[in-house]
Each structure stands twice: as structure tokens, then as C-alpha cells.
Chains A and B, each alone.
Chain A
Amino acid sequence: MVEVNIEFVTIDRNTRTPLVVLKEKEGESKRILLIWIGESEAWAIENQLKQIPPQRPITHDLLKSVIDTFSGKVDSVCITSIEESTFYAEVTLDLNGKKYELDSRPSDAIALAVRCEVPIFVEEKVIEENGFLEAEVKKEKTSQRDAKDILENLDDDIAKHYTV
């Protein structure tokens, strides 16, 4: 498992779908992983990252309140696998020292992780097969066939970060 940071949330101009860009936290050549997510989850992640306090608790705030109320603790979240273009994730919940792994979509897991300030991990195999190297993208020598196509069609936000 490798730890990742959320680089940013943007919109894929081509598919008009929000996208979260994850980047490997440590290591010399940091790999990037793109995950397409739903609009409300993108908003939930973005608002928390920008520290925009909601007037009323939004869904993921409620989720955190429920966990806090019953002295649960989120340990971490992990993007565990990809099957037929769908990413799978798990939320690890610590309840009085006992760990529970709950099946989740990556978007919900990430929206919860940013609220609980816990690390986000990606299984090595997932990032190995679906990630691409930041350096390679910059040099336009991406090894992943689709990566350049994807990035070329992204919103201007991403263009600021990568030369494609």
C-alpha cells in the first residue's frame, strides 16, 4: 500500500464528470491516479479541502458525526482494487480497539478521510496498473497509453499542473 495525497478535484471536460487527482506522497517519482467520481462527492471533498464551512452539515459531515458520537475512529481509507473500470475502497473503522473494514466507493472514503484527517492509501497493484508517473507526463513520454489523452481533455485547472 502506498499513501497518497489529494492533489486537487477538477472536472473532466470530455465526460463532464468530476475527477479527483491522487498523488503518491513519498518516493522519488511520484505516481498519479485519477478517479472519476460523482458531483456531490466531489463537492464534499472540495469544500472540506477549501475549509468552506457548510451552513448545515452535509452528508459526509453527518457520517463523521455518527462515528464521533459512538466513539468510533476512522483509522484510514484504502483504494483496494479496480474491476471493470470501477474502483473499490475500504474505510477502516476502529471501535474500542477492534478494526472493521467497510466496503465503500473511493469518493465517499476520500470525503470521509479529509474530514477525519486520516491517511488515504492505494494498493500497490492498483497504482502500478492504473497510475502514471508525473515525470513521464511532463516529458510527454507517458507509459500509460490513455494518460496523455485524458490529461489533454481535462479542465484548465489540470493544465496548470502538467505540460501535455
Chain B
Amino acid sequence: MVEVKADYISTENNGTPVVILKQKEGDPIRRLLLWIGEAEANAIKSYLDEMHFPRPMTHDLIKNIIDTLSTTVNAVYITKIEKSTFYAKLSLKTDTQEIAIDSRPSDAIAVAIRFNAPIFVDEGVLEEHGFLEEEKKDG
């Protein structure tokens, strides 16, 4: 597993939002582009941009519920890609246990950043789908 950080949110030419994950350490630094939904893009972008809303957004509610359950997010793992769909796991930790919950990467990332939890990508996924900054990603 390779640690990455949510670098920024952008949109493709067709208007689809994307999140760019950037390898945290190493040389060269690889990036991974994930197509995500608009609501999840907003949930990530607003948090990265430190925007504040008067009402809790859906991922804020998830954070509040995780807090209430006396657990915390200790990591997110982007584990595989199947038929162009990325799979992730949201790892939750209590004093006694650690449980990974199936999630879309976008939701997992939106929740993880609210806990300052690290995001990891499977080496094979990054190897196959990652790109270098100077490369033009064609999908």
C-alpha cells in the first residue's frame, strides 16, 4: 500500500468531477485520477477549501455518527479496480477492534479527510492506473 493525499478536485471536459490523489512520498511521485459524483466532489472540495456550511453536509453527519459511536477512522484503502470501478475500504478503529467497511473511494476519501486519516492505494492499482505529473492522463 502506498500513501497518497487528496491533492485537488477538478472536472473533466465533459463536466465529470475527478479527484486527483498524489503519492505522498517517493520518487517519482505518481498520481491517480478517480471519477466521482458531484455531491462527493463537493464534500471533498469544500473540506479541502475550508468552506463552512451552516448545516451539516452528509459526510459531516457520517463524521458525527462515527464520533458518537466512539470510534474513529484510522485509514482508507483503495484496494482494487474492476470493470472501471474503483473499490475502497473505510477502516474504523475502536479501543478493541478494527473493522473495514466496503465503500466507494469518493465517500471514503470525503470521510477520511474529516478525520485527518491517511489514504492508501494498493501498489498494483497505482502501478496500472497511476501517472506521472508530466504525463498526460488519457484515462
Partner-B contacts on A (CB < 8 A): 38-41, 55-60, 62-63, 65-67, 69-70, 72, 86, 88, 91, 93, 95, 100, 102-105, 108
Contact = CB atoms under 8 A, between A and B. Distances in A.
Nearest to B69: A70
Q: What is the interface of chain A mostly: helix, strand, loop, or mixed?
A: mixed
Contacts of B71: 70
Contacts of A100: 68
B39 interface: yes
Contacts of A67: 65, 69
A63 B61 contact: yes
A65 B102 contact: yes
Contact of B39 (A39, A56, A65, A102): A39
Interface in B36-51: 37-40
A39 to B, nearest CB: 7
A23 B29 CA distance: 55
Given A62-B101, A69-B101, A102-B65, A40 B38 contact: yes
B104 A95 contact: no
Please classify the interface of chain B as helix (H, G, I), strand (E, B), loop, or mixed, using the class held by over half of its residues. Answer: mixed
A66 B69 contact: yes
B69 A95 contact: yes
Contacts of A108: 56, 58, 61
Given A57-B102, A59-B59, A70-B69, A103 B64 contact: yes
B56 A62 contact: no
Contact of B37 (A40, A62, A63): A40
A35 B54 CA distance: 17
B136 interface: no
B85 interface: yes
18 contacts: A41-B58, A55-B85, A56-B85, A58-B104, A59-B58, A62-B101, A63-B65, A66-B101, A67-B69, A69-B92, A69-B99, A86-B54, A86-B55, A95-B69, A103-B56, A104-B61, A105-B56, A105-B57
